[in-house]
Homo-oligomer: A and B are copies of this chain.
Amino acid sequence: MNVHDILIIDGLQYVNWNRELFEQAKRGGVNIIHVTIAYWENKKEVTENIVNWDKKFNDHADLIMPIKIADDITTAEKNGKIGIIFGFQNCSPIEDDVRLIEKMHHMGARIMQLSYNNQSLLATGCYEDGDSGITRFGKVAIKEMNRLGMIIDMSHSAELSTLEAIEISERPIAITHANPSSFHDALRNKSDTVLKNLSQSEGMLGVSLYPFHLANGSACTLEDFCNMIYDTAELMGIDHIGIGSDLCLNWDYTILEWMRSGRWSLTPDYGEGTATQPTWPKQPAWFENNLGFQNIIDGLKATKFSDEDIKKIMGGNWYNFFKSSFTPLDTINNG
């Protein structure tokens, strides 16, 4: 099975894009990418990021296009363009204002994490000791995101907050980029309880290729990775798993410092790294960049997945999920 013959959707990437990298992604067969446009950015800063993306859409109109509604995914595929979905890894762009959710939706945001490692105004992050669950503001925000058709993403959130988000949200939620804790025990990975509740509510998991989420880190084998997908499919069902590579490319260390320390810390926080190894981890040799998707297809094939299942994992499941998730509630309710 060739990467160019099936729909490939990546549930999260954080890349410092330029023309060469868009071209590489196209050669690698990627159709749709959920791109991160905020970690700690506030309203003003995220607006600047969106304006910068406008310039990219203009300069590289032959290669990329924005995804705002489900039909855009089909349009992108038909025209051979990479579809770009805007997402926030944190709720910082809405600051303390629930009405900004709709404004951010107008500007194109379709996915928002309720917290990023730390406590936010909406939910607790996975690096905190305590976990207050979904806050009062968080409950209002979830309702508003449900109404608009903005996906709730709990990738960097803590256990109780994640379980409550699944419970409170009237629409299925996503963990766009994380792996099961049973595969590799890390604060960022997810318990079987979370994964089961996620799939039972028709939610989606994007399995991650970020070395800190992998057994044996950068040395993780393709076989182990695909076996993890197999085990996760046993747990969650094949229809609830996609790829969320968490591919980070072309950034220097200062960006990783921003991701980890934002403005909340006076000294560097090393996050998943350490003081002696603070910088970006090395990607596994079989997934160094967007040319690696063929390897994953081949690995899944070797793990005895059927062609139908491989299609689901590589993009079919995300397609169905995005299609139903991006529709505003009033459109659904009014037929």
Contact = CB atoms under 8 A, between A and B. Distances in A.
Contact of A121 (B121, B129, B138, B140): B121
A191 interface: no
Contact of A136 (B42, B135, B264): B264
Interface in A229-273: 262-266, 269
B118 A264 contact: no
A317 interface: no
A137 B160 contact: no
A144 interface: yes
Given A130-B160, A132-B130, A265 B140 contact: yes
Contact of A96 (B40, B97, B144): B40
A97 B132 CA distance: 22
A133 B132 CA distance: 8
A160 B133 CA distance: 14
Contacts of A269: 136
Interface string A105-138: 0000000000000111100100111111101111
A40 B135 CA distance: 16
Contact of A98 (B97, B131, B266): B266
A290 interface: no
A95 interface: yes
Nearest to A262: B96
A122 to B, nearest CB: 8
A133 B263 CA distance: 20
A266 B128 CA distance: 28
A92 interface: yes
Contacts of A96: 40, 42, 92, 262-264
Contacts of A103: none
Contact of A119 (B42, B98, B137, B266): B137
Interface string A142-156: 001000000000000
A64 B120 CA distance: 38
Contact of A124 (B98, B132, B144, B263): B132
A99 interface: yes
Contacts of A118: 121, 135-137
Interface centre among A42, A95, A130, A131 (most CB of B within 10 A): A130
A140 B120 CA distance: 15
A152 to B, nearest CB: 17
Given A128-B132, A128-B135, A263 B97 contact: yes
A135 B263 CA distance: 14
Interface string A8-43: 000000000000000000000000000000001010
Given A42-B96, A144-B266, A135 B121 contact: no
A125 to B, nearest CB: 8
Interface of A: 40, 42, 92, 95-99, 118-121, 124, 127-133, 135-138, 140, 144, 160, 262-266, 269
